Amino acid sequence: MTTLQEIIVILSDLKQSLIAFHGVNPVYPPPNKSETMARVEEYIKLVVAAISRGDWPLQLPIHGSDKMMTWKAANQRRKCLLLFHLLAKSHALLRTNTTSTKRDIYYEDVSLWGNQPVLDSTVTQMTRLLNIPRRCLNIGATSKGLVAGSLNFLDGDGKLVDCQSPTGILIPNDVERLSHFRSKAFHILLVEKDSTFQKLIDDKIESFIGECILITGKGYPDVNTRRFLRRLWDELQLPALALVDADPHGISILAVYRFGSQNLEDIEHLSTPQLRFIGLQPSDIEPLHIPDEAKLPLTQRDRSLIDSLAQRPSVTENQLLHEQLVVLRRLDCKVEIQGLTKIHPQFLSRTYLPAKIQSKSWI
């Protein structure tokens, strides 16, 4: 474990390197990076000064606001030190113009972080303190999302990536460096679950709805999958349609893609407001006569999530989406996308999606 004294040494050395790095005639990186570098340096100096004075509880101003971030409980001392350590790491990445994923940083010093969630929460805390998106700090996330279908692009090294794959390909970590997107698709179909994603590929969904691009974040999406979807829409201007479970968690996932999460990272333009909810809509449950064995009762946790979603401004301002939550409450049940196989094994590919797209029955 990194001790307080070791942190002081790290930051003191770093403070000296700032002076050496800038010199008399500094050569600054591009504007966005220089601003980021300056802000990181500002907070490193604040930290060095606070530690030198022996301040505790420790308070630091959240950049761009009149709020403060405070560490005062005894068990917060370690969290505080980890944050300072991450500031130093980010500065080193910026100074050397290199990037690193959260996973890489974790494995560089497993004993320091203890587990991945500790690092993840520290990164989020740092972005909130600095009021800067994570990607601007040269810290990336490891992708878990997949993409398949009529799409090719050049990766960060200029290599052609063809997404015509029977199982999908992993969305690259360096989404910002992708270029030259090419596609013959008519739609982008965002799928909540990997199992549904694979079934649509196996069913040759393009035979029923035309050429398309399939994306899945395998449940609640990671940052790269969200950013990749947004980039696809920006580059190709194709209709983006979301296929999620008819339950509060499915609608919550839709909301993350469409409106953004509650985290500061959403200033990175991670949301895709043009995304439309094609299914499985709660209002489809009764008209489709979905068998009872495919229906599951809502839990108390489900009901609480419905209430929470219904209070979000982005949802209350969208009457049609809000009505879907009302329907869920009234039916007091939920249906997963796989429940459509109870009607017919290929009902989703052969009937449901083609009919929805043809009638433009999306929200």
Q: Residues with catalytic annotation? A: 107
Do the beta carbons of residue 43 and residue 60 sit within 8 Å? yes
Residue 95: both structure tokens together: 């100074």
Amino acid, res. 150: S
Q: How far are the Cα atoms of 37, 75, 248, 250, 259 from residue 279, in angstroms, in the given order? A: 44, 45, 13, 10, 17
- What's the CA angle centered on 334, arms 329 and 337, to 5 degrees? 140
How many angstroms from the chain centroid is the CA of residue 45?
31
* Helix (H) or strand (E) run with residue 231 in it: helix 223-236
Gyration radius of the chain's alpha carbons: 24
How far, in Å, CA of 363 to CA of 279, rounded?
9
> Which residues are CB-contacts of 250 (< 8 A; sequence separation ≥ 6)?
192, 244, 280
Query: Buried b / exposed e across 56-95, counting CB within 10 Å, b at 16+?
Result: eebebeeeeeeeeeebeeeeeeeebbbbbbbbbbbbebbb
Tokens 């494995």 belong to: 107
Q: How far are the Cα atoms of 271, 309, 310, 319 from residue 323, in angstroms, in the given order? A: 22, 12, 9, 6
- Coil, strand, or helix at residue 183? coil
Return left, alpha or beta for 347; rule: phi > 0 is left, psi -120 to 50 is alpha, else beta: alpha
> Which of these, 62, 135, 140, lies nearest to 104 by C-alpha position?
140
